[in-house]
Amino acid sequence: MLWSDGRLVEGGTLPFAMADRGLLLGDGVFDTALAVRGRVAFEAAHVDRLTAAAAALGFLVDRAPIIEAMRALAGTAPLAAIRTTLTRGPGPRGLAPPPEPAPLLFGSAAPARAALFFAPLRLVLTSIARNDTSPAARLKTLGYLDAVLAARDAQAQGFDEALFLNTKGRAACAGTGNVFAVSGGTLVTPPLEDGVLPGIVRAELLARIAPGLGLAVEERPLLPSELEDAEALFVTNSLRLLAPATALGARAYDSAGHGTVRRLCAALRESVAAECGVGVDALDP
């Protein structure tokens, strides 16, 4: 299902300007959210991040149509994976942005898979470096080719997801989510300046869930050796929620069985359910 210009559209195609800078230059941003029984989990945070990302690229957008799009798409399936995309719109040939951009907003929804929530995954390091010097590393831009290529290589090796180091050799993120390590009762995740997207679930864990469970939290550089030594690893994003890692390359982990990870999963499940006004059983496979 698609949303465009204030209405839902059946099918998979929309009219699209061939001069749109999102298509030609990747000049745009997007957001991915989970909706449960018609309500978007952490809706305000998703809208805030998307509008802030557009502003960082230099064009302003109104929040109201973004909210309208997300809410309309949320009602298309009991569990919906919603993607909301913003481009700068069409422009003349060349790199310089048009002085008066005409942003394009559209959205799509597909059924989300409850089996993906909290499901374990296998990670492998990719040789592609996350460019922590680029402002785009901290925005959900349309240029995802590094992640696409890393995912292809990871799957060819029998893994589920790639883990990126940055140009300094520090852990940055997975291809589609934020990475956390559990060490000595402390939850550690790389800081944004290491080339990290400010994930919605990441923020929920850091600001509310982990402190509510009495867990110590650190945002600091993480070296590969620290990942190897960690008691548990996991990846967060809006569709997986929290995915315990069973491996990082040859190193095996029992992350799903770790007490801290189990508590975080239970608390996050309750948080998403409360956000969407449903019981926790609505998130069951």
Helix 63-74 and helix 43-57: axis angle, to 10°? 140
User: What confidence score (pLDDT) does residue 28 get?
Assistant: 98
The string of pLDDT tens digits covering residues 111-142 is: 999 999 999 999 999 999 999 999 999 999 99
Its sign, for the CA torsion 7, 110, 23, 97, is positive
User: What is the per-residue pLDDT for 22?
Assistant: 97
Please compute the mean of the pLDDT values over residues 15-41 and round it to a whole number.
96
pLDDT of residue 65: 97
Label residue 180 by pLDDT band (50, 70, 90): very high
Is 90 exceeded by the pLDDT of residue 94?
yes
Q: Please say whether the beta carbons of 235 and 264 come within 8 A.
A: no
For 138, list phi and psi in degrees, rounded to 5: -105, 15
pLDDT, residue 169, reads: 98
- Measured CA to CA, the distance from residue 277 to residue 285 in angstroms comes to 18
pLDDT at residue number 12:
83
- Using an 8 Å Cβ cutoff, are 26 and 20 in contact? no
Spatial contact of 178 and 236, defined as CB atoms under 8 Å apart: yes
**pLDDT score at 233:** 98
Q: Which domains does the chain have, with CATH numbers?
A: 2-112 (3.30.470.10), 121-283 (3.20.10.10)
36-57: pLDDT as tens digits:
999 999 999 999 999 999 999 9
User: Which pLDDT belongs to residue 184?
Assistant: 87
Residue 185 is predicted with a pLDDT of 85
Over residues 239-262, the mean pLDDT reads: 98
Per-residue pLDDT reduced to its tens digit, 135-172:
999 999 999 999 999 999 999 999 999 999 999 999 99
Whether residue 246 has pLDDT greater than 90 = yes
Element spanning 45, H or E: helix 43-57
Backbone CA torsion sign across 128, 129, 133, 137: positive
